[in-house]
Amino acid sequence: MKKTSTRLADGRELVYYDLRDDTVRDAVDRRPLERTVTTSEVRRDPLLGDSVAIASHRQGRTYHPPADECPLCPSQGERLSEIPDSSYDVVVFENRFPSLAGDSGRCEVVCFTSDHNASFADLSDEQARLVLDAWTDRTAELSHLPSVEQVFCFENRGAEIGVTLGHPHGQIYAYPFTTPRTALMLRSLAAHKDATGGENLFDAVLDEEMAGERVVLEGEHWVAFVPYAAHWPYEVHLYPKRRVPDLLGLDEAARTEFPKVYLELLRRFDRIFGEGEPPTPYIAAWHQAPFGQLEDFEGVTRDDFALHLELFTIRRTSGKLKFLAGSESGMNVFINDVPPERAAERLREVASS
């Protein structure tokens, strides 16, 4: 992998990640952009103890542009985009309309391929490995920023999820705090460790799932399963078999196997609802240990956390979506219409040939 860092016309950082070491990236952003001004502010809810990012400037962000005006495609001639070069393998840049900025963190966009009509599932093993390497590099870089406590790499796919740009891409949020969902995991981890005299909860869950009926696919270094208490109609958790706290902890064997396992999982997601159905909308979310202090979680260290990816869709059956209504949105109590065992069975049925 070759990494080349540059700056866009308004001062934002852009990084090319290339498969070939001899690739030259010297294109200049020719757009007459003024320096980006953001109004991001993080406010803490005193009753719930969580945080909300207030970012009014995002109201003006690009919304469903036609394909020939996509800002994530390479620049061609006088059609100038966020990527100055005429081609790329993987590129990462600071979001022009960030939810978090400055002392409130940082937001980046990750373009998986220059092919506007592709999806992550269309990538080759080599391309998917390059994305993994880019995620890992950005996690390392962002973890050193003084305002960053946790790094979250994710992909939103599909208009039903709320995606406003059709180009295959994901995002990275670098939070100035430990997110509420991670805090819940850490509290459960601490309680279980205390109650069992030191047993790791992630290890216990993984051992139980691997011995059960909800495993979807398994490699030498990775295993994917539908969790016992899945929140979403089709939800899969992907774990490395060797527990590591973050993407930086993966060894070469796990990195090499990841593309094959993950691409197969994504391709099965597109087959869940049968032939002729539109691509399955999904969210793919990497869970990594925070880089900040864990003093609020007594007895827990970063090494106790288990890196994993959670992949889920809001489509519950053909032509129908799972909406977060009263119980889910009002009380955070999910109601799942698809038994996890049946979801796992279906995902095994649609294995690609």
Query: Among the options 169, 192, 237, 308, which is catalytic?
Result: 169
Residue pointed to by tokens 């005006």: 69
- Residue 74 DSSP class: B
Would residue 287 show up in a list of annotated catalytic residues for this protein?
no
Contacts of 102 (CB under 8 A, 6+ apart): 38, 40, 147
Secondary structure (DSSP) of 81-120: -SB-SS--SEEEEE-SS-SS-GGG-EEEEEE--S-TT--G
Cα-Cα-Cα-Cα torsion 262, 255, 177, 332, nearest 10 degrees, comes to 20
166-to-57, 67, 97, 243 alpha-carbon distances in Å: 21, 8, 17, 34
CA distance 154 to 136: 12
Q: Phi first, then psi: give them for residue 53, nearest 5 degrees.
A: -90, 125
- Residue 221 DSSP class: S
CA distance 178 to 182: 7
349-to-71, 211, 216, 273, 274 alpha-carbon distances in Å: 38, 19, 9, 11, 11
Pull the structure tokens for residue 77: 């001639």
Q: Is there a contact between 149 and 292 (Cβ–Cβ < 8 Å)?
A: yes
Contacts of 304 (CB under 8 A, 6+ apart): 189, 193, 200, 202, 245
Catalytic residue IDs? 169
